[in-house]
Amino acid sequence: MDILETNKKLWDEELKNGYGTDSFSEEDMIDWSKIIGHISNIEDMRVLDLGVGCGRSTEILLPLCKDYIGTDYSESGINHCKKRFKDGRFIVNDFTKGLPFSDNSFDFVIISFNGLDYCSVEERQGTLKELFRVSNKWICYSTHDLESILRKNKWTDNYIGLQDYNKRSELVKTNDYYFLEHYQEKFITYFEKTNYTKRYLEETFNPKQIIKITDMDETTLNFQTNYFLIETRN
């Protein structure tokens, strides 16, 4: 199964229908404020926003920074962005195929929330290398937390097999990452162990620091998404 192509077709259909033209929720804005709060002088920065969809993240970042470029592999999403944000620059690009930018050409590179979680392991690792290549300061991305799926949370009814985790627990516990199929929309989603993420980043890229910001569901007190803000040594 080609995970990326499966997800790409579904994502493009969602964006054709205007998914993501609404603003982030109040809960999401708390995560954004935590991330941006760690970054000084964003008003002087050149920002690259990957996987912008119809522009939710653009709405936040474009007014804050000096220069902004947004990309998405969906032409439908990019067309929405061009209509909504006249001051931004937008291009169609599949970040798993490489980024058409020079080394160290951006101060802050972000993959809009969970964008990497719909790629294969190889595509994910290749994309991370590209992020470190084009960023001269900050990188941000998020990933679904693998340990959280061992505990019942609000996503339980949305994923195939979550009710059967006791049967799968040995597989989940012995692997660093795991794919699940969302039965309502058929997206193939990547879950990753936090320690694996940090170890991979440290061993592969030797960043100056990694700041982990965890999104907690207040109802279940389960961690569901980890946001990684990475300061490079470039």
Residue 64 burial (CB count, 10 A):
14
Let me know if residue 75 belongs to a domain.
Answer: yes
Let me know if residue 14 belongs to a domain.
Answer: no
Let me know if residue 199 belongs to a domain.
Answer: yes
Rounded Cα distance, 50 and 58, in Å: 10
Please give the tally of structural domains in the chain: 1
Let me know if residue 216 belongs to a domain.
Answer: yes
Q: What is the pLDDT of residue 3?
A: 60
Q: What is the pLDDT of residue 30?
A: 66
Could you tell me the CA-to-CA distances from 64 to 41, 44, 60, 68 in Å, in that order?
9, 9, 7, 9
Q: What is the pLDDT of residue 137?
A: 96
Q: What is the pLDDT of residue 19?
A: 64
Q: What is the pLDDT of residue 197?
A: 79
In angstroms, how far is CA 86 from the centroid of its own chain? 24
Q: What is the pLDDT of residue 156?
A: 45
Let me know if residue 6 belongs to a domain.
Answer: no
Let me know if residue 103 belongs to a domain.
Answer: yes
Let me know if residue 117 belongs to a domain.
Answer: yes
Let me know if residue 58 belongs to a domain.
Answer: yes
Burial 24-49 (b: 16+ CB within 10 A, else e): beeeeeebbeebbeebeeeeebbbbb
Residue 98: which CATH number?
Answer: 3.40.50.150
Could you say which residues of the chain have pLDDT below 50? 154-174, 183-184, 218, 220-221
Range of the domain at 100: 19-144+194-231
Q: What is the pLDDT of residue 232?
A: 95
